[in-house]
Structure 1
């Protein structure tokens, strides 16, 4: 077993949880405490009812998620929300959520890990907002077709691509999740391609107008990397068994 407060202290410091501004509903950090002892580290992308019920099969576990319990703000604890809280408390489950702090972490963040999985080189941070990097950019110097294949291989699913006139892709920006709305800012960097998770219809049109190759690789699929890696780090550091719950699969 491990002590919850020690794990939380490590996470808060390593992720700089209190320093990085996020959506109010993200509520980064420990969202639900337990009795104080942790038996296992379980990671998942979403704190969904199905994920919590699966994690609750291990009493006293820590559930580490990217998308936490409170995205919609204060709401009545009824229906699925009641089911989540009830299942977690009955199983003495602790829940820790980390959204933007995990996306931008320089070692085990979603952005850097996806960039490495694709095979980008000389990766650097870009699009800094309030002192924090929104994304990363790396060198590809290969064909657009090869980039599409590499992205699909990295996320394990078919992807949607807005093709540009550029046969050779030299630099690629990566911002995981639902970040296609950054398409104009990415294009202004002068890069050739942008890899993200998902976006609205207009983002495809904007990319086409700007002759920017835009690859939609799936919101969920691009954000499994960080929680998988961080969960494994926690398990190793605190001598606990670890598990990743892959609920949505290739989406």
Structure 2
């Protein structure tokens, strides 16, 4: 068992969350028991995750997509049900959004770059004033990189193959980051990797002579939360478990 405050202080410091502007209320979102023996990790807050976490004996849930975004909202409807479940069962809810996107070691994008053995990695992708992704160099066929990413994320990718078949450079921004594709085009990248795309992407790729691989918002953001779990397991004497609430989007 550990103190909840000790876990929060470590994570807030390690992820530098106070210094990163974000719509998400990063850190503790719902307060539960002050002593923690088991922490469940997941991508997104939901009643399904909460029920599974309770069944697993969790005292704390840590996610990438939490419940609190932007301005305050009334405790009604689904939001009320989610918060009420956590309070009734004395479970802490903790969330880290952009801090987990952009972290250079355990962030989703850093993990994806390591998965394809990218070299000369540097920050890429400005989102609301924060650089949240990475770019780098590789030397591999597009098909091989797609297979590697699909296996790593345990998903089936959507591929827009309008660029070189042999990839020398790529940029990665997980999640819902199709709007950053023009930044990859302007930097003459061969490949852009993200989570989900929208209607303009196909023609952007065709006109920009670039490949785009979409791994799914959910599946592209499992890596960082799993890496965070491994870090916490090494740092604290607590049980940890990743719960996969599968999502095709």
Bin of the TM-score, shorter chain as denominator length? over 0.9
Q: TM-score when scaled to structure 1?
A: 0.92
Note the residue ranges of structure 1 that are not aligned, 5 or more in a row: none
Structure 1 vs Structure 2 CA RMSD = 1.8
Q: Distance in 2 between matches of 1:128 and 1:146?
A: 28
Which position in structure 2 is the counterpart of 1:156? 154
> Are the aligned partners of 1:53 and 1:88 in contact in 2 as well (CA < 8 Å)?
no
In 2 relative to 1, CA 80–130 (structure 1 residues): closer, same or farther, beyond 3 Å?
closer
Cα deviation, 1:140-188, whole Å, max 9, x if unaligned, reads 2121221222221221111111112412110110100000111111111
Cα deviation, 1:23-80, whole Å, max 9, x if unaligned, reads 2xx1111101123111111100001111112112355611100000124743332332
Superposition deviation, residue 192 in structure 1: 0.6
Equivalent runs, 1:113-192 vs 2, <5 Å: 113-128=111-126, 132-192=130-190
Q: Distance in 2 between matches of 1:210 and 1:57?
A: 49
Which of 41, 52, 55 is the aligned partner of 2:53?
A: 55
Deviating more after overlay: 230-239 vs 218-227: 230-239
> Are the aligned partners of 2:195 and 2:215 in contact in 1 as well (CA < 8 Å)?
yes
Q: TM-score when scaled to structure 2?
A: 0.93
3-state secondary structure, aligned to 2:167: strand
Q: Distance in 1 between matches of 2:30 and 2:128?
A: 29
> Are the aligned partners of 1:58 and 1:91 in contact in 2 as well (CA < 8 Å)?
no
3-state secondary structure, aligned to 1:18: helix
3-state secondary structure, aligned to 2:200: helix
3-state secondary structure, aligned to 2:174: coil
Superposition deviation, residue 130 in structure 1: 7.7
Which position in structure 2 is the counterpart of 1:205? 203
3-state secondary structure, aligned to 1:219: coil
| Aligned pairs, number | 249
